[in-house]
Amino acid sequence: MSKRKFFIDTDTASDDAVAILMALEWDDVEVLGISIVSGNMPIEQGSINARYTVELCKKNIPVYVGAEKPLVKKTEHADWFHGPDGMGGMNYPDPKHTESSDDFIEVLKNLIDENPNEITLVTLGPLTNIANFISKYPDAFLMLKNIVIMGGASNTVGNVTPAAEYNIWCDPEAADVVFQSQHPDITMVGWELCRGEANLTEEEMEHVYNFKTEKGDFAIDCNKHALDSSQNWLGDPGLGLPDPVAMAVALDEDVAKRVSKHNVKIVLDGPSRGMTIVDQLHVGENEPNIDEWWSSTERNINVCWEIDNKKWKETLYKTLRS
Ligand SMILES: [Ca+2]
């Protein structure tokens, strides 16, 4: 059986690392490459964290470095959330797996040419790299099989501003390019889907430690700082893992329970800058909006509204048990 082909774009900190691990350990998936973007971490640290994760999984997947800053906005990182190294301050040793010096944009273009309509792109960070790819190769982008984006918040609170989720807030202009790319199969997995019952509880983290595997220990240890941040700052009950939830949606079609297609716009200015406005009721399509902001109401994004929390956690555990 031929494996499904994935390419991952990431600003690798602790939850990205777990998401990467899940893809690397998933039986019917082959990860073709990993590109690093500025976000949670500066690209140098993101690259170290991604390569450490690849090495932990005993794989030899190429890691490429992309954009070191957003298209317009000034650079912001999230070491305050994930710890100074992005990995919970665990100070893992430097990986031996070296970074590829190839331009990931050219690499991805060639991969798409060789595998038209076969590659799933999963994005776990700000969308700067992907916007740069679209600017150079808009037609090749349309030849991706599908895109799964961890980002945004579907008609709910943001986690950086009252309106905006971190990945979109970091580079709203880039997100706008991607959301308007005309690709017919883009799925948005908002940060709210990792909250509440999707959090890993203390018992569930203990369950993972009880696997007594290197990967299980790693998945929880590197997220310790994120756990404190989640609880103290966001008031969530346990550990929220946005990137692994998005990866679970990409890996197992049964994880997403409710998905529907909507017009989604990125707010580019004002206090809602970085917000994802989802036309949940398709009211933008009504006649009074003609010639107003909502006259362009193409249903451009598959919005994931609800996941099966039991299935998402089982998807995670499956990759950590051995
Ligand atoms: Ca991330």
Lowest mean pLDDT among 108-117, 166-175, 278-287: 278-287
CA distance 161 to 154: 14
CA of 1 to the centre of ligand 1 (A): 31
pLDDT, residue 276, reads 98
pLDDT, residue 293, reads 86
CA of 144 to the centre of ligand 1 (A): 21
CA of 283 to the centre of ligand 1 (A): 32
- Segment 23-55, tens digit of pLDDT: 999 999 999 999 999 999 999 999 999 999 999
pLDDT, residue 230, reads 84
Say if strands 146-150 and 276-278 run parallel, antiparallel, or are unpaired: unpaired
Ion ligand 1: residues, CB within 5 A, are: 11, 16, 124-125, 243
Domains, the chain, in order of start with CATH, read 4-320 (3.90.245.10)
For 38, 55, 87, 88, the CA distances from 91, given in Å and listed in that order, are: 20, 15, 7, 8
More confident residue, 311 or 289: 311
- Segment 243-275, tens digit of pLDDT: 999 999 999 999 999 999 999 999 999 999 999
SS3 state at 300 = coil
pTM of the model: 0.97
Reading the block at residue 20, the tokens are 């990467």
CA of 282 to the centre of ligand 1 (A): 30
Q: How far apart are the first and last CA of the chain?
A: 22
CA of 13 to the centre of ligand 1 (A): 6
pLDDT, residue 153, reads 98
User: 111: pLDDT confidence band, cut at 50, 70 and 90?
Assistant: very high
Spell 143-179 as b/e; 16+ CB within 10 A means b.
bbbbbbbbbbbbbbebbbeebbbbbbbbbbbbbbbbb
CA of 35 to the centre of ligand 1 (A): 12
For 135, 200, 304, 317, the CA distances from 307, given in Å and listed in that order, are: 32, 14, 8, 16
Please report the DSSP string for 197-211 in residue order. Answer: GGSBPHHHHHHHHTT
Q: Residue 228: what residue type? A: D
CA of 285 to the centre of ligand 1 (A): 33
- Segment 91-105, tens digit of pLDDT: 999 999 999 999 999
CA of 56 to the centre of ligand 1 (A): 19
pLDDT, residue 295, reads 82
User: What integer is the mean pLDDT of 58-65?
Assistant: 98
Is 88 within 8 Å of 205 (Cβ atoms)? no
Which residues, listed in sequence order, are joined to residue 31 by a DSSP beta bridge? 6
CA of 287 to the centre of ligand 1 (A): 39
CA of 301 to the centre of ligand 1 (A): 20
The angle, 0 to 180 degrees and rounded to 10, between the axes of the packed helices 14-25 and 309-320 is 80
Decide if pLDDT at 1 tops 80.
no
Question: Of the candidates 161, 162, 128, 157, which has an alpha carbon nearest to the alpha carbon of residue 149?
Answer: 128
Decide if pLDDT at 284 tops 90.
yes
User: 294: pLDDT confidence band, cut at 50, 70 and 90?
Assistant: confident
